Amino acid sequence: MKVKMTIEDDNKVKINIIIKKHPQEMKNLQRKSDNEEAKECCQEANNEETKEPRSKRGRGRPRKYQNPDFYTRNTRLDINDKTLIRAVRREFVQWFRVFCISTGLHTSDVQLDDHAEILKMRFEMSDGEFDNAMDAFIPHILQQETSDSMNSLYSQLQNLKDFLIVLIDPSKGTSIMFPGTTRLLKDEMRSLFFSYSHRKLEVFLAVPEMRYVLHKTLNSEYIDTLIAKNPTLNESEALYKECAEKIMDKVTRHNRAAQM
């Protein structure tokens, strides 16, 4: 205990008593305070995890998904969708390269079943060679589609070649415009893949070629193969299957609207 004496103007003596605690006791008190604060933070985090997920900025109705663990693993739906959309692009790049190698349009020693090496390989073609390869590739990927379903769903896909050129190799489509706009398709596509938002996807879903690309890779018959070929998707298989289902619902909705 420390005593401090002061003399005020009216000649009264004022005694201040200052209690000075032992340094070890002060450390114990500080440690106790830190522990209590940590417990409060943990409790708040636990409370947040048990809350029902809500839409952007916490407003609106919570989205309902069949999988109860959908949100507990990753609540950023935009990140999940971006990962899936980029996997779709890689799938078309791989399909095109495998087609070119298997048909002799491009020479390479890479094993065709080595998906990772095909994506990493140095793949160069002149503009003329690439254009000819694309002319041959499009009938190849459309051969499993019936003409009736293609016409009814996608209006004959008149811009499919231009769309796939930019999707597979943007450097080959530097002058191709986004349908119905004065903006470059390669810029809009890059923005979708690297600065994804649900709004940007909705804009692309108005393009029948984009709906075809998504349907080709995210449909229920192929999604398992797509996930198995991508380690990131494979780590959360159920999560990305549900994301694919939601995107396919949007594709179906836009297809129906286009038929009206």
What does the pLDDT look like over 4-30, one tens digit per residue? 455 454 554 444 444 454 555 555 555
Indicate the pTM of the whole model.
0.70
First-to-last C-alpha distance (Å) of the chain: 88
Q: Provide CB contacts within 8 A for 238, sequence distance 6+.
A: 67, 69, 70
Residue where the block lists tokens 């396919």 = 248
84 within 8 A of 247, measured Cβ to Cβ: yes
Rounded-to-integer distance, Cα 108 and Cα 14, Å: 95
- CB count in 10 Å sphere of residue 208: 22
Give the residue from 115, 132, 204, 206 showing the smallest Cα distance to 172: 132
DSSP label of 177: B
DSSP label of 197: -
Mean pLDDT, residues 151-163? 75
Mean pLDDT, residues 79-103? 96
Rounded-to-integer distance, Cα 102 and Cα 112, Å: 8
Residue 153, classed as helix, strand or coil, is: helix
Give the pLDDT band of residue 83 (cuts 50, 70, 90). Answer: very high
Rg (Cα) of the chain, in Å, rounded? 30
The two tokens of residue 200 are 């940007």
240 within 8 A of 80, measured Cβ to Cβ: yes
Render pLDDT for 164-211 as a digit per residue (tens, 0 to 9).
999 999 999 999 999 889 999 999 999 999 999 999 999 999 999 999
